[in-house]
Amino acid sequence: MANATRSEKLDLRLTPEAKRVLNAAAQAERRSVSEFVLESALIRAQETLPDRQHFGLDAERWQAFLAALDAPPRPLPRLKRLLNEPGLFEHPGE
């Protein structure tokens, strides 16, 4: 990220108190507020996303997951009926 060209902009509305705290924290680290906020936000994003992209299973649950993937689909009569009925903008027989 350090060598990437910054071409996008993100605007924030914040309270005077929030701005004061961010300024103080950035100053304490001898960084600009933009650098401080960007790095902090990216760290938080990287902490948040793995929970939604990867998940772990123990051996028993992994086997159950594989069995569910390999199982034939269960019949869904209402879905079958829906897909066989003419659409709202279709005329029967066309």
Does the predicted TM-score (pTM) go above 0.85?
A: no
Please check whether residue 56 lies inside any domain of the structure: yes
| 8-state DSSP, 71 | S
Please check whether residue 32 lies inside any domain of the structure: yes
Number of domains, the chain: 1
Give the range of the structural domain holding residue 74, as residue numbers without chain letter.
Answer: 16-84
Check: CB of residue 86 under 8 Å from CB of residue 92: yes
Report the interhelical angle of 16-28 vs 33-48 (nearest 10°): 100
Query: Which amino acid, one-letter code, is at 17?
Result: E
Amino acid 24: pLDDT:
97
Please check whether residue 92 lies inside any domain of the structure: no
Amino acid 49: pLDDT:
86
Please check whether residue 5 lies inside any domain of the structure: no
Token pair of 83, please?
Answer: 């897909």
Please check whether residue 64 lies inside any domain of the structure: yes
CA distance 66 to 83: 28
Amino acid 2: pLDDT:
57
Please check whether residue 8 lies inside any domain of the structure: no
Amino acid 65: pLDDT:
93
Please check whether residue 94 lies inside any domain of the structure: no
Please check whether residue 54 lies inside any domain of the structure: yes
